[in-house]
């Protein structure tokens, strides 16, 4: 099974180890918070290919700065968009509901990966 790594940096576009970010059921997707000691939440707003909807990355430790969910075997084949809002600040009246610095990306789940046949 393959592994896709997605590096999350607050206020920047995510960096994918595979482009396009295409995975298959059984593959692992590693979300890693880089260059930050903050705590953020990776949010899938319209479904997720993993067993949990959202998960927290805490940059204060290498153990908590990444999560490695596995794509479910029954995950529908499509693109799964995610957002990572920056760490919360005190709410201000009239503030935009999506704060500046929100990271947006996606993971494409495909059908069964191609089978390599050796000659």
User: According to the model, what pLDDT value does residue 2 have?
Assistant: 85
User: According to the model, what pLDDT value does residue 58 have?
Assistant: 96
In tens, the pLDDT along 76-110 reads 999 999 999 988 765 555 555 566 688 999 999 99
Beta bridge partners of 31: 6, 67
Distances (CA, A) of 8 to 39, 79, 101, 112, 118: 12, 18, 11, 27, 37
Distance CA 6, CA 60 (A): 18
User: According to the model, what pLDDT value does residue 114 have?
Assistant: 62
Q: Which two tokens stand for residue 37?
A: 């000691």
In tens, the pLDDT along 12-50 reads 999 999 999 999 999 999 999 999 999 999 999 899 999
User: According to the model, what pLDDT value does residue 108 have?
Assistant: 95
């Amino acid at each position: 099974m393959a592994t896709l790594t997605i590096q999350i940096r607050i206020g920047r576009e995510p960096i994918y180890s595979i482009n396009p970010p295409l995975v298959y059921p059984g593959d692992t997707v590693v979300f890693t918070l880089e260059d930050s000691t903050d705590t953020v939440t990776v949010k899938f707003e319209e479904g997720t290919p993993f067993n949990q909807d959202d998960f927290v990355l805490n940059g204060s430790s290498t153990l908590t700065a990444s999560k490695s969910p596995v794509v479910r075997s029954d995950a529908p084949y499509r693109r799964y968009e995610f957002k990572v809002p920056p760490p919360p600040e005190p709410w201000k009246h009239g503030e935009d509901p999506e704060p500046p610095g929100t990271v947006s990306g996606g993971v494409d789940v495909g059908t069964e990966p191609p089978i390599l046949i050796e000659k």
